[in-house]
Amino acid sequence: MNTMNELTLNSPLDMHLHLRDEEMLKLVTPLTAETFAGAVIMPNLVPPVDSLRALEEYRYRITEAQGDHVFNPYMTAFFRNYTEDELADLKYEMLGIKLYPAGATTNSEAGVKAIDAVEPTFKMMEEMGIPLMVHGETHGFVMDREKEFLESYEYLAKKFPKLQITMEHITTADAVELLGRYENLRATVTLQHLIITLDDVAGGMLNPHLFCKPIAKRPEDREALLQAALDAHPSLMFGSDSAPHPLSKKECCGCAAGVFTAPLAIARLAQLFDAHGKLGNLQAFISDNAQRLYRITPPEKKVVVRKQAFEVPAAYQGHGQHVVPMHAGEILDWAVTSVS
């Protein structure tokens, strides 16, 4: 039933998610698995997930942590120069390979230093039909890093026209404009980048729980991202980039980058789309586009969201972890009311 006050979502997907490992994994995995049918799991652990054995072991730890929830972790491998045999072994166990420029974000020190140095791996991926997912930032001035990287996206899209390339967690109007130019480019966008600007992070008192990479940009960037999401742009997917860090790593000198949104993402997206009269487009943004672009069929899962008050917890705690979410302690207008 879809009304102005209630919406049933079919198999919602989070196409960019950090679950971390060990005790943090045990805390946060059920918070996604409860309401999402599946999620694309990022591989930037220490050491990174860059072999078949590491991928299988990580997936096992995730499935143990998710409990009885119906949930499919779509695994990814950390980009490096793989051999053809390694890619053949990995292909049917993962959704794609994630490229991080060296040092661009959390646990990315082992990432790529020069795009042209790894082109043989791109070519093999193209030939084998393995998608490429990219954290697209240079090491330039922080507000310009994504915009500067767009040239690399265009270069890859032209040189490898059959390689499916996902621009992860886009944050700029320029990236939205690029989406329409190449058939092999698609993108994910986060909840926070649809709502906040850099002013919300650092315009007054610094809010460490809104600090992430790529950083939030200007109002005109947010508006371009929001309009594309509300219109269910066919090449755009929801990817939370939900990135939990212990409280001690956020409220400190040298604050870690990452916004934790997993437990409230669906309710907050419903509120956002409803506020703009676009509730009917949420299904495409949060599931249908991803299913079509990645040719995946997630588990059957119906999630009902309703227009009613939902107080976001001040923190999520357990397994010795303490994580503060976005909108901590605030009351949202929409809530997840049932999952079947």
Contact assessment for residue 130 and residue 95, using Cβ atoms and an 8 Å cutoff: no
Query: CA triplet 259, 79, 145: central angle to 5 degrees?
Result: 50
Distance (Å, whole) CA 166 – CA 143: 21
Residue showing tokens 């490229």? 99
* Plot region of 269 (φ>0 → left; ψ -120 to 50 → alpha; else → beta): alpha
Backbone φ and ψ for 16, nearest 5 degrees, come out as: -165, 105
Residue 214 · residue 171 · CB < 8 Å: yes
Distance separating alpha carbons of residues 258 and 197, to the nearest angstrom: 15
CA–CA gap between residue 268 and residue 325 (Å, rounded): 12
Q: Rounded to the nearest 5 degrees, what angle is found at the Cα of 125, between the Cα atoms of 123 and 126?
A: 65
Q: Which residues have CB under 8 Å from 60's CB, separation 6+?
A: none
Count CA within 13 A, CB hemisphere, residue 260.
29
Give the C-alpha separation, 99 to 77, whole Å: 9
Question: Residue 17 corresponds to which amino acid?
Answer: L
How far apart are the C-alpha atoms of 94 and 55, rounded to whole Å?
A: 8
- Could you give the residue numbers annotated as active site? 241
